[in-house]
Amino acid sequence: MNAQTVPAVGVEAIGMTMRFGGFTALDDVTVKVPAGSFHALLGENGAGKSTLVKCMMGFYTPTSGDMVVNGREAVIASPKDAGALGLGMVYQHFTLVPSLTGEENLVISRENAPAVIDWGKERRDLKSFMERMPFKIPLEQPVSALAAGEKQKLEIVKQLYLGRRFLVLDEPTSVLTPGEAEEMLGLVRGMTRRGELTVLMISHKFHEVTAFADDVSVLRKGKLTGRGRVANLDRRKMAAMMIGDQAIAALDQRAPTPADAVSVLEVNAVKAKDRSGLKSIEIDGLKVKAGEIVGVAGVSGNGQKEFLEVLAGQRAREAGEIRVKNASYEATREQSRKLNVRFIPEEPLRNACAPKMTVAENIAFRTFDLDKDGKPASWISARAIRDYATSLIAQFKVKTASLSSPIQSLSGGNVQRAVLARELSGAVDLLIVSNPCFGLDFAAVAEIRARIMKARNGGAAVLLMSEDLDELLELSDRILVMSDGQLVYETPIAQADLHVIGEHMAGKH
Amino acid sequence: MEGDIGLWGVPLAILGGAIRVSTPFIFVSLGETITERSGRINLGLEGTLVFGAMAAYAIAVETGSPWIGVLAAMVAGAGFGLLHGWICSFPKVNDIAVGIALMLFGMGLAFFFGKPYIQPSAPNLPAIPLGDWSSLPQVRAALNVNVLFLVGAALALALWWAFKNTKIGLIVRVVGDSADAARAMGLSPNTVRLFATAAGGALAAIGGAYLSLYYPGSWNERLSSGQGLMAVALVIFARWNPLGCFAAALLFGGAGALGPALQSVGVTQGYYLFYAAPYVLTLIVMIAASSPGRALAGAPGELSITR
């Protein structure tokens, strides 16, 4: 368990093929990761990255293919076998137990944890172990009290504590601020340079790959479409390997916001309890004008979700006022219809759809109870719903087997397109969007961003909450930072600096 | 009259009652704590308690030893726990619904097998007279402490220690807080929960044995007055902490003793209202512990009521 004496482990996956029934998720993929190297695995969602590492780690038994560990053929039938060979995986979601302290998490994860734990001895051992680690983490606190970056470091430390010297990192920075991500990857990079660790990192962030990785392998639709030294590749080449020759929607030119644009959304001194009920969020003096996109950045869990719920009327507010077009807004169906307020929440299948109802019904949620003149209808016409959905499906290019398929049978990108079709049709004065592109592939992301920009240029006021800073920098006119339930920083896009934003996200000001 | 201590009799009777009445609460709530800490709720403990009371009484009658009766109750309780855990290990099974079914099943089974044992009398569990130093009969009565109460107190302390300092304790907490994390560690949540529910059932059955073999000390169909259900509320009140369970059980026991205590000092009007004290307390606890806006602090993350 000594970081200096146990050398890094080199791993090769040769000719990996994985079939689920008739579907080939992975087709003859070979990836070689020499000891002490930092290898990046690029690919879109569903390209087979997860399948590949799961085959390597023994979660799946590949249809065919071999594993070579430290130059010797190895049989890995279960994650336990992988662990015994020194292979470990750090998952995208945390696998630490929130109510246990860091110490408890580490000790109990050990295969040979003693039946009665002598905490005096364990603490001494942990202390000397941590002295050899580049990471500094408070181990005596419950994990739930740690920041996301600290949790991610603790996940890595846990694998090292268990004696793993080949780590798969599955999108390790998706919940971290840019500063946290750079620090964490820098420390990991240092360990690989010193030959203490080998890393295979799944990612879709090019800047991380270029900054930290030695080599890269790219997957598309289950096939290896490219590999090489990162030093010899640029972003464009890597993107081409990832997406092939599909057409990508272009973003409209940003039309200048009219100088006399009125503010559509005003949030004054709004207070509400957060999810835990122990802290509150306080938003004051937020204004969004017609024809601008205001981006809200923040590490997840800093109150963005609660703020969105307050705006959507899902969470009671304790004080303050929300005004839309100078009228008090209580988020009733009637008001949102009259004031043209539209919502695109995150995880649309869960938050904006009735999963088992049909595509057509889901698309008609805003209009089904109105007749042609916009008056409340007493009879609901199935034909009108179908006709309406047919035209929108064509217009927004929603791929669905039929109008009467349940919407949960659609892919993530198509669910999001269906929701966009519903929310962006008709007059839109205020659009509130949260993480619209989470988990979607390139083509869908580009198209959805283009639609949001189009709505902005069409005169809608857009409030965009996102954990993806690149998305905010691409779309916003102004960026606000939310930290600890409050808006702590504002910058126009022209002066936006990624690192300053990151520091405010981390609450360092 | 010698030994007449007037209104002082009320707090003394409440203390004595608290010790006497609380013992089943202690065992059921400690059992439920183990089960809930592993991420499941077993609402069937009321049925387990009643069946345990019957089994303990019947075996004590047959063998002449109350301790063999307690042992038999534990075996039966563990059996009920295993059944609950086994059914809940299937996908999409709701632990609360299974618990209610098993509660009715346990009570029905106990009434069925218990019919022949309503008449015969069983040997009682021994008590330790800790009040011998006093000449007052009230003090001696109040401090006549049953062995199981002391066992329960020791068990609460042991569990509190074990949740922090033993591998088994930590494993139960891991499974209860994050099944994903447990699987990543190579633990099987269903197996851990199966044994945690069995242990919980065994402890709840001891509570039942205490009812039939010590206080009130006979077997009949109206023996339990919902202790098994109230213990679930008590666990929430105690924030899943074994020491808290012990304290909360004493509080509930004291509330349960309020009615009889008032009656014993000659209050003849309205003491029935005080018989309802434990139930009112349960309600107050549930209301105080609930909130529309936040999750319960300290609740195991996998519990179906907190998810």
Query: Where do the structural domains in chain A lie, given as residue ranges?
Result: 11-243, 263-340+427-505
DSSP A387-410: HHHHHHHHHHT---S-TTSBGGGS
Beta bridge mates, A490: A480
pLDDT at A71 over 70: yes
Please give the Cα distance from B98 to B105 (Å, whole number): 10
Q: Show residues of chain A in contact with B181, CB under 8 Å.
A: 94-97
**Measured between CB atoms, which of B171, B177, B293 is closest to A99?**
B177
Q: In the numeric block, which tokens belong to residue A139?
A: 């181990």
**Measured between CB atoms, which of A99, A114, A117 is closest to B173?**
A99
Q: Show residues of chain A in contact with B39, CB under 8 Å.
A: none
Q: Do B174 and A80 touch (CB under 8 A)?
A: no
Q: Is A96 on the interface with B (CB under 8 A)?
A: yes
DSSP chain B: -TT--GGGHHHHHHHHHHHHHHHHHHHHHHHHHHHHHTT---TTHHHHHHHHHHHHHHHHHHHS-HHHHHHHHHHHHHHHHHHHHHHHTSTT--HHHHHHHHHHHHHHHHHHHHGGGSSS-PPPPPEEETTTT-S-HHHHHHTEEEHHHHHHHHHHHHHHHHHHHBHHHHHHHHHHH-HHHHHHTT--HHHHHHHHHHHHHHHHHHHHHHHHHTSS-S--TT--SSHHHHHHHHHHHTTT-HHHHHHHHHHHHHHHHHHHHHHHTT--SSHHHHHTHHHHHHHHHHHHH--SSSPPTT--TT-TTT-
* Interface probe with A: pick from B163, B164, B170, B296, most Cβ of A within 10 Å: B170
What is residue B169's predicted lDDT score, i.e. its pLDDT? 95
Q: Is A119 on the interface with B (CB under 8 A)?
A: yes
What is residue A325's predicted lDDT score, i.e. its pLDDT? 92
pLDDT in tens, A336-355: 989 999 999 888 888 899 99
The predicted model gives A401-411 an average pLDDT of: 88
Query: What angle, rounded to 10 degrees, do the helices at B189-213 and B167-177 form?
Result: 110
What is residue B87's predicted lDDT score, i.e. its pLDDT? 95
Q: Provide the shortest C-alpha distance from residue B31 to chain A (in Å).
A: 21
pLDDT at A3 over 50: no
CATH architecture of the domain A263-340+427-505 equals 3-Layer(aba) Sandwich (3.40)
Q: How confident is the model at residue B102 (pLDDT cuts 50, 70, 90)?
A: very high
Q: How confident is the model at residue B226 (pLDDT cuts 50, 70, 90)?
A: confident
Q: Do A117 and B165 touch (CB under 8 A)?
A: yes
Per-residue CA distances from A440 to A218, A239, A358, A444 (Å): 17, 15, 21, 6
Q: In the numeric block, which tokens belong to residue A148?
A: 């996301």
Instruction: Using alpha carbons, select from B208, B2, B250, B196 the residue that is nearest to residue B82.
Output: B196
The predicted model gives A253-258 an average pLDDT of: 83
Which residue bears the tokens 């916003």? A476
Q: Do B294 and A115 touch (CB under 8 A)?
A: no
Q: Provide the shortest C-alpha distance from residue B101 to chain A (in Å).
A: 30
The predicted model gives A162-190 an average pLDDT of: 87
Q: Do A95 and B166 touch (CB under 8 A)?
A: no
Q: In the numeric block, which tokens belong to residue B186?
A: 């190579």
**Chain A residue with minimum CA distance to B161:** A116
Q: Do B178 and A117 touch (CB under 8 A)?
A: no
Q: Is B265 on the interface with A (CB under 8 A)?
A: no
Q: Is A494 on the interface with B (CB under 8 A)?
A: no
Q: Provide the shortest C-alpha distance from residue B196 to chain A (in Å).
A: 17
Q: Show residues of chain A in contact with B185, CB under 8 Å.
A: 95, 108-109
The predicted model gives B107-132 an average pLDDT of: 90
pLDDT at A1 over 50: no
Burial class (CB in 10 A: 0-12, 13-18, 19+), A462: buried
pLDDT in tens, A439-465: 777 778 888 899 999 999 999 999 999
pLDDT at A2 over 50: no
Q: Is A401 on the interface with B (CB under 8 A)?
A: no
Of A405-409, A499-503, B49-53, give the range with the top mean pLDDT.
B49-53
Q: Is B301 on the interface with A (CB under 8 A)?
A: yes
What is residue A106's predicted lDDT score, i.e. its pLDDT? 93
Interface of A with B in 27-86 (CB under 8 A): 79-80
Q: What percent of chain B lies above the pLDDT cut of 90?
A: 54
The predicted model gives A455-482 an average pLDDT of: 92
Q: How confident is the model at residue A322 (pLDDT cuts 50, 70, 90)?
A: very high
Please give the Cα distance from A371 to A378 (Å, whole number): 9
CATH architecture of the domain A11-243 equals 3-Layer(aba) Sandwich (3.40)
Q: In the numeric block, which tokens belong to residue A370?
A: 């109105």
**Chain B residue with minimum CA distance to A90:** B184
Q: Is B178 on the interface with A (CB under 8 A)?
A: yes
What is residue A134's predicted lDDT score, i.e. its pLDDT? 85
The predicted model gives A284-299 an average pLDDT of: 92
Q: Provide the shortest C-alpha distance from residue B180 to chain A (in Å).
A: 6
The predicted model gives A352-369 an average pLDDT of: 91
What is residue B297's predicted lDDT score, i.e. its pLDDT? 64
**Chain B residue with minimum CA distance to A98:** B177
Q: Is B173 on the interface with A (CB under 8 A)?
A: yes
pLDDT in tens, A204-247: 788 889 999 999 999 988 899 999 999 998 888 888 888 877 76
Interface of B with A in 182-201 (CB under 8 A): 182, 184-186
Bigger pLDDT: A1 or B99?
B99
The predicted model gives A483-494 an average pLDDT of: 91
Instruction: Using alpha carbons, select from B68, B49, B48 the residue that is nearest to residue B58.
Output: B68
- The amino acid present at B126, given as its one-letter code, is P
Size of interface A-B (CB pairs under 8 A): 68
Q: Is B158 on the interface with A (CB under 8 A)?
A: no
Question: Which CATH number, 2.30.30, 1.20.1420, 3.30.70, 1.10.3470, labels domain B6-125+136-289?
Answer: 1.10.3470
**Chain A residue with minimum CA distance to B177:** A97
Q: Show residues of chain B in contact with A316, CB under 8 Å.
A: 293
Please give the Cα distance from A62 to A26 (Å, whole number): 9
What is residue B214's predicted lDDT score, i.e. its pLDDT? 92
What is residue A460's predicted lDDT score, i.e. its pLDDT? 93
The predicted model gives B122-149 an average pLDDT of: 86
**Chain B residue with minimum CA distance to A89:** B184
The interface predicted TM-score (ipTM) is 0.85
What is the average pLDDT value for chain A, to the nearest integer? 88
Per CATH, A11-243 and A263-340+427-505 having the same topology is answered: yes
The predicted model gives A39-57 an average pLDDT of: 88
Q: Show residues of chain A in contact with B182, CB under 8 Å.
A: 97
What is residue A462's predicted lDDT score, i.e. its pLDDT? 95
pLDDT in tens, A14-45: 999 999 888 888 999 999 999 999 999 998 87
Q: Do A80 and B186 touch (CB under 8 A)?
A: yes
The predicted model gives A272-279 an average pLDDT of: 78
Lowest mean pLDDT across A4-13, A192-201, A261-270: A4-13
Q: Is A309 on the interface with B (CB under 8 A)?
A: no
**Measured between CB atoms, which of B167, B180, B301 is closest to A115?**
B167
What is residue B130's predicted lDDT score, i.e. its pLDDT? 86
Q: Is A314 on the interface with B (CB under 8 A)?
A: no
Bigger pLDDT: B298 or A273?
A273
